[in-house]
Amino acid sequence: MKNRISKLIKDYQSQYVPADKKAKKTIAQHEIASLAGIDPATLSRYKNEVVTRYDSTVIERLCEFFDVDVSDILYLDKEDG
């Protein structure tokens, strides 16, 4: 099982527009984690694909935050066996 969190984070960061025009032009990964309601270390593990067991609560929060379905996050890598 693999995930697309890294791509979702990059896409979100590229589309991020700060409310304050003088604010920084990007959003940090730890800020995304906070907004999604998960621990920054958890998001980092998902992004770096070092997760061996996927937590349904984390997946649900990520789906809600990125406004995607589970299949947009998780997929089966048939080459990985």
Q: What are the pLDDT digits (tens) for 7-63?
A: 999 999 888 877 676 666 778 999 999 999 999 999 999 999 999 899 999 999 999
* Token digits of residue 59: 């997946």
The two tokens of residue 62 are 């990520």
Domain containing residue 29: CATH number: 1.10.260.40
- Domain span holding position 68: 2-80
Tell me which long-range contacts 60-64 makes (C-beta under 8 A, separation of at least 24). Answer: 61/36, 61/37, 62/5, 62/8, 62/36, 62/38, 64/36
pLDDT at 81 over 70: no
How far, in Å, CA of 43 to CA of 15, rounded? Answer: 19
Question: Structure tokens of 80?
Answer: 């990985």
- State the total domains in the chain: 1
